[in-house]
Amino acid sequence: MEAAAPSSILLYRYLDAAAALRTIESRSFKIGRLRDFNDPFEWWMGITGIIPQGEIVARACVESFLEDVNAWMGIFCLSESIADPVLWSHYADKHKGVAFELSYKVDPERLIKMEYTNQRPVFDANRLHDPAGFEAYAKPLMDQLLRQKSPGWAYEREYRVFLDLAGCDILGGNYFKRIPEKFLTRLILGFKCPLEELYVRKALDASGLNDTQVVRAKMCLETYSIRTD
């Protein structure tokens, strides 16, 4: 008999120490924007079926689409890995930062698990002249585009949550989402993090996050991994 699929999953948000304190004290996560991402291929669909002169028009269409998405949609990025030292190095200030352990309800429509493949979605620009079948052709490509990245990013083991910016709070030109009850299960300090456990505990309590545990990561003595037990 197969085991039942889990109803929730633990995911991790890595931040440097200063950003982590701001997050705790405001009890809000900063929400990313498409234009802020560091992958130049992010949401850039491949294009084929056009003469060289038409590439300028095609790229302009893609740019217009990206600007539209960037204007209304926020993206919250997480990882399912806490043990990989590379993630701590890249996204938590070389182990001097923090990982937020979050409990997410498993919902494939809302919580998107990224896939990693060399098969980039490629749009045939000639289909622009087929208005009747354009939507049926383009929609699967767009669904594929928002769920995948190239294999070089596979170490991130990334999940994404897409958010309507209209439902987010604003401050200083950025968008934020409040941390709900029972959502932040643990705050994991990097093994080089300068923050003191007592201070972090007080900051969490002051923000009403009393149920969140505070632990410090350790280098495993037997493997190339980070321990948080």
* Amino acid 131: pLDDT: 65
When pLDDT is cut at 50, 70 and 90, the band that residue 167 belongs to is very high
| pLDDT tens sequence across 205-229 | 999 999 999 999 999 999 999 999 9
Mean pLDDT taken over the chain: 90
When pLDDT is cut at 50, 70 and 90, the band that residue 132 belongs to is low
What number is the average pLDDT over the span 149-178? 96
* Amino acid 24: pLDDT: 98
When pLDDT is cut at 50, 70 and 90, the band that residue 146 belongs to is confident
Cα–Cα nearest to 10, from 62, 97, 82: 82
145/44 Cα distance (integer angstroms)? 8
Under 8 Å CB-to-CB from 109, ≥6 apart: which residues?
A: none
When pLDDT is cut at 50, 70 and 90, the band that residue 36 belongs to is confident
* Amino acid 137: pLDDT: 76
What number is the average pLDDT over the span 82-102? 98
Calculate what percentage of the chain has a pLDDT beyond 90: 66
Calculate what percentage of the chain has a pLDDT beyond 70: 92
What number is the average pLDDT over the span 60-70? 81
When pLDDT is cut at 50, 70 and 90, the band that residue 54 belongs to is low
Higher pLDDT, 83 or 105: 83
pTM of the predicted model as reported, rounded to 2 decimal places: 0.90
Is the pLDDT at 125 greater than 80, yes or no?
A: no
Q: How many CB atoms lie within 10 A of CB 156?
A: 21
Q: Where are the domains of the chain?
A: 8-227
What number is the average pLDDT over the span 84-101? 98
* Amino acid 28: pLDDT: 98
Token pair listed for 12: 């991790």
* Amino acid 61: pLDDT: 74
Which range is least confidently modeled, 17-31, 106-120, 189-203, 213-227? 106-120
Is the pLDDT at 99 greater than 80, yes or no?
A: yes
Is the pLDDT at 47 greater than 90, yes or no?
A: no
